[in-house]
């Protein structure tokens, strides 16, 4: 019999409502696979004061469906007070406006919940000189925000050296903005209506950027990054290294993920700083 983790969602008390995934042992005769887990929601009373439970749960379900084993996930409501930042984290938002402090705090709360659910010791997630999250030693992850939601995914660096996560509102992008992020060779599956294609392209490129940046230090012009989007995934190449990601629609949001394994991470670290088809 193989021990396979099952997944359920729990919500911490109302002062910091966040949906998180908790791995529990389940004996099964099946082999361990990389398939998504079934999810059941157990929301705390009062969560719907600011965000409907179903809305938050749908985001968790959409992201979870894209993640393999060994990746923790938590989603927090930005509009509800969260646990205070750790002292090491406060410097990054010392002069920030209140809205930025709220989203930053919710993102760090989600990151620590995701670490805990992975069985990792929660630690400070500080900020690099490039304003990217600086994860504790041995941890990789990604944080994203929308107007109301902060989400974080976390893994052991030995399993997944780099991860990218992005959430964007599924709304049409202005033509001027779309021109800034489109490449002539971008391709979007016809399953997606054209008014939303540019928004999904942006989200996919954002997730890819977040994943590759800790490995390469590359800043990119999204209009120079050709990307192909299929019915539920996307592909691109960085420094000749093929990368792939997934996307899902979660109500009014697009969710995109890119996970980089050890072999591709090593190849990216040795690359020459080129994005290509």
pLDDT tens across 118-154, in order?
A: 899 999 999 999 899 999 999 999 999 998 899 999 9
Same domain, 141 and 173: no
**Domain's final residue, options 160, 177, 201:** 160
Give the H/E segment covering residue 163: strand 162-169
Residues forming the annotated binding site?
Answer: 100, 108, 144-145, 166, 168, 206, 210
Tally of domains within the chain: 2
Same domain, 128 and 203: no
Structural domain containing residue 90: 2-160
pLDDT at residue number 7: 32
Q: pLDDT: is 96 or 270 the higher one?
A: 96
Residues forming the annotated binding site for Mg(2+)?
Answer: 166, 168
pLDDT exceeds 90 at position 28: no
Residue in 167, 120, 137 with CA at minimum distance from that of residue 23 = 120
Same domain, 126 and 27: yes
Residue in 10, 73, 59, 64 with CA at minimum distance from that of residue 35 = 64
* 275 Cβ contact list (under 8 Å, min separation 6): 218, 220, 224, 225, 236, 237, 238, 239
Q: Cα separation of 82 and 15, whole Å? A: 7
- Structure-derived torsion over alpha carbons of residues 124, 51, 7, 69, reported in degrees to the nearest 10: -50
Same domain, 174 and 122: no
Same domain, 133 and 213: no
pLDDT exceeds 90 at position 6: no
CATH classification at residue 90: 3.90.470.20
Rounded to the nearest integer, the mean pLDDT of the chain is 81
Same domain, 222 and 96: no
**Domain's final residue, options 110, 133, 160:** 160
Q: Note if the pTM is more than 0.85.
A: no
Q: Cα separation of 134 and 142, whole Å? A: 10
Residues forming the annotated binding site for CoA?
Answer: 100, 108, 144-145, 166, 206, 210
Rounded to the nearest angstrom, the gap between the alpha carbon of residue 206 and the centroid of all alpha carbons in its chain is 10
**Domain's final residue, options 99, 133, 160:** 160
Residue in 12, 15, 77 with CA at minimum distance from that of residue 51 = 77
């Amino acid at each position: 019999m193989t021990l396979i983790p099952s997944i359920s969602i729990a919500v911490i008390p109302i002062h910091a409502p966040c949906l998180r995934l908790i791995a529990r042992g389940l004996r099964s005769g099946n082999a361990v696979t990389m398939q998504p887990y079934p999810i059941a929601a157990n929301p705390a009373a009062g969560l719907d004061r600011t965000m409907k439970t179903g809305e938050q749960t749908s985001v968790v379900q959409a992201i979870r469906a894209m993640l393999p084993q060994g990746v923790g996930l938590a989603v927090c409501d930005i509009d509800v007070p969260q646990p205070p930042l750790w002292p090491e984290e406060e410097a990054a938002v010392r002069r920030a406006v209140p809205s930025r402090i709220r989203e930053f705090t919710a993102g760090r709360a989600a990151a620590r919940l995701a670490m805990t659910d992975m069985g990792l010791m929660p630690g400070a997630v500080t900020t690099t000189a490039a304003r990217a999250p600086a994860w504790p030693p041995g941890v990789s992850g990604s944080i994203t925000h929308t107007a109301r939601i902060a989400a974080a995914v976390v893994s052991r660096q030995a399993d997944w050296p780099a991860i990218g996560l992005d959430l964007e509102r599924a709304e049409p992008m202005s033509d001027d903005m779309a021109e800034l992020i489109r490449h002539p060779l971008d391709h979007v599956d016809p399953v997606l209506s054209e008014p939303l294609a540019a928004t999904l392209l942006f989200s996919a490129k954002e997730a890819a950027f977040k994943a590759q940046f800790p490995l390469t230090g590359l800043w990119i012009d999204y209009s120079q990054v050709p990307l192909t989007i299929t019915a539920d995934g996307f592909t691109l190449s960085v420094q000749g290294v093929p990368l792939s990601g997934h996307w899902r629609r979660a109500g009014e949001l697009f969710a995109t993920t890119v996970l980089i394994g050890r072999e591709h991470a090593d190849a990216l670290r040795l690359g020459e700083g080129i994005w290509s088809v």
